[in-house]
Amino acid sequence: NQAYLSDKTKPCPRCKALTEKNQGCNHITCIKCKCGWCWICGQDIGNATIPEHFSDPNSPCQNKQ
């Protein structure tokens, strides 16, 4: 239902496909368009194994992978 989707999913920043995170790290890969993005801030961060986004001192998501 709509309440569940609003509470438990976030849209991919590139294709807007809804994604549910039920475990694991905050680096998400969209199953539809393969965009690598951050679950915390929703930014497209690429698909490196450990994106610089999580080590960048200017990122609000530093050390939160």
Q: Are 37 and 7 in contact (CB under 8 A)?
A: no
**Distance (Å, rounded) from C-alpha 63 to C-alpha 51?**
11
**Of all helices (H) and strands (E), which one includes residue 8?**
helix 2-8
Is 25 designated active site?
yes
**Active-site choice (15, 25, 30, 41):** 25
Active-site residue numbers?
25
